[in-house]
Amino acid sequence: MTDKIKPHESSEQNKAQKEIERLAFFPLANPMPVIEVDLKGVPSYINPAGIKLLDQMNLDISQVSQILPKTYKADISTSASDQSQIPSREVSLEGMHLLWSAYFLQNQNLLHYYATDITNLKNTEIELISAKEQALKNEEVKALFLANMSHEIRTPLNSILGFTELIEEKVTGKIDEDLQVYFETIYMSGKRLSQTVHHILDISQIETGTFELKTEKIDLGEIIKNLGASFKSAAKAKDLELHINVPNADIHIVSDKYCASQSISNLIDNAIKYTNSGHVSLTTEIVDGSVRITIEDTGIGMSKEYQDHMFNVFSQESTGYTKNFQGMGLGLALAHRYLTLINGKIRFESKQNIGSKFIIYFPGDASVTPATNIAEPGLSAPIVELDASSEVSRLSILVVEDDPNSQKLASFTLKKDYTLHFAESVADSKVKLNAHDIQLILLDLSLRGDEDGLDLARFLRADDKWDRVPIIALTAHAFAADRDRCMGAGCNDFMTKPFRLAELKETIQRLI
């Protein structure tokens, strides 16, 4: 007797058959390759899109492994042993980029691969990576250009100002007043050029995002006192009263010393520049743990229209051929940007023909402690001169400098008080160090040969014989990052060209 198929069983079989046909339709209709391989990598199924891809690659079915991930056999072995999920793999085929996703059928020992065309996505990724690399290269070129420009301008400017100061010292009291004015004019013009270069380089670094901050604990009170001393002559030249009011205490904050100092300096300089009579004052207060500095003047003030864009770069209220004051309009812009970098704030009040008031806030918890050695505000410690008549007391200094004019300047200005030795390269420096009893080193960064000043500093600090010899980096590389690199290499101090001889002597005396 023949078994009859029941109606409900026939219905179930029809559904199963339709489901098989429906599932089979997916790889057939898929516009992307679908490939099935066994444990040996032998293909058991390839859909029409897979066949088409093989034809495009001039491959036959036996060469299907050349379009699959190279790890497919390892993926099969791994999945068969621990049933782990197989990661998607990228394969590049003559300009086409495929992402293969795989699933292992444990009961059939078959590996199904499904491809996704990611060519456009991959090309976009490649373009973005290339654009990023080009942008980084452009930033490196900009940074290198700024560094070279700084060095190439500051080096000759150092000689111009240094020799002018030297000549003026030699002829003081021996020439008429007109010649004295000539020297003062040359020096003041050189300082103005130096400041202009300094401002341009700083604003360029800030605008390009290459300005580097160094956060540390700093004594803001000492910074303000030193700034007061440095601006005394400028105020006196315009017959202005300069009042610097700082509490007799050490005011410590955590900030970038350069940005803090320059923001205050630019505001004082701006106040003196735009004040023709009266006074400029600076007051320091501790308010709720933060430092508030108020800089007030009796100058020309600013119109309400100009106040809306006073912090823009190259901005001045009077411009063109008829402008009333020299400068590039970078002082306020830089002060604002320095403060922004260190999360400081600035407010101002100004009335035309009456004066201006700038109030700046330094963030953080300021600590105030009684000063252990209070000097008169604005005065620096006196320079102790060595006895030049005694060879025993004369300090032996190695000047590591490759610029001939800078060597001459060092020789003329320092030979009276110190015994000098010169070197132009790291190799030459090592010879001089072994030949003489060197007690201090003046070190430029750019030297002849394959090694620079930082290489020499690191060499000396790694040698027990030289690790305690004071090193003063004296260089035209004047960025904050240059200072950090010098101090990181073991230098004891950092001075930029152009420099004042008195400042250099004071630094030498402090270190010996």
Per-position DSSP letters for 157-190, written without gaps between them: HHHHHHHHHHHHHHHTTTS-HHHHHHHHHHHHHH
Tokens of 7: 């109606």
How many of the other CB atoms lie within 10 Å of CB of 325? 12
Give the pTM: 0.53
Whole-angstrom distance, CA of residue 297 vs CA of residue 4: 112
**Tell me, what DSSP letter sits at residue 174?**
T
Q: Tell me, what amino acid is at 512?
A: I
The pLDDT value recorded for residue 380 is: 34
Can you tell me the distance from the alpha carbon of 262 to that of 411, in angstroms, rounded to the nearest whole number?
32
The C-alpha angle with vertex 243 and arms to 242 and 244, in degrees rounded to 5, equals 120
Q: Is 303 left (phi over 0), alpha (psi -120 to 50) or beta?
A: beta
* Length of the chain counted residue by residue: 512
Tokens, residue 21: 């046909």
Domains of the chain: 17-117 (3.30.450.20), 214-380 (3.30.565.10), 395-511 (3.40.50.2300)
Calpha distance 424→402 (Å, rounded)? 4
pLDDT digits (tens), the chain, 512 positions: 455 555 555 566 555 555 544 444 456 667 888 888 887 778 888 888 888 888 888 888 888 888 888 887 787 777 777 766 778 888 888 778 888 888 777 777 777 888 888 888 888 888 888 888 887 777 677 667 767 777 778 888 888 888 887 777 777 767 777 777 777 777 777 777 877 777 777 877 787 777 778 888 899 988 999 899 888 888 988 999 999 998 877 788 899 888 999 999 999 998 998 899 999 999 998 887 788 999 999 998 888 877 777 777 655 554 433 344 444 567 888 889 999 999 999 998 988 889 999 999 987 665 656 554 433 333 333 333 334 333 446 899 999 998 888 898 888 888 888 999 999 999 999 999 999 999 999 999 989 989 999 999 999 999 999 999 999 999 888 777 788 889 999 999 998 888 878 888 889 998 98
Q: Which two tokens stand for residue 315?
A: 């901005």
Place of tokens 């205050």: 264
Q: Give the Cα separation of 220 and 209 in Å (integer).
A: 26
Give, to the nearest 10 degrees, the angle between helix 177-208 and helix 119-171: 170
Tokens read off for 93: 């085929």
Q: Answer whether 478's CB lies under 8 Å from 154's CB.
A: yes
pLDDT for position 370: 58
Contacts of residue 368, Cβ cutoff 8 Å, sequence gap at least 6: 247, 249, 250, 251, 252, 286
Beta strand 418-423 with 395-400: parallel, antiparallel or unpaired?
A: parallel
* Rounded Cα gap, residues 477 and 494, in angstroms: 10
E strands present in 83-198: 89-93, 96-105, 110-117
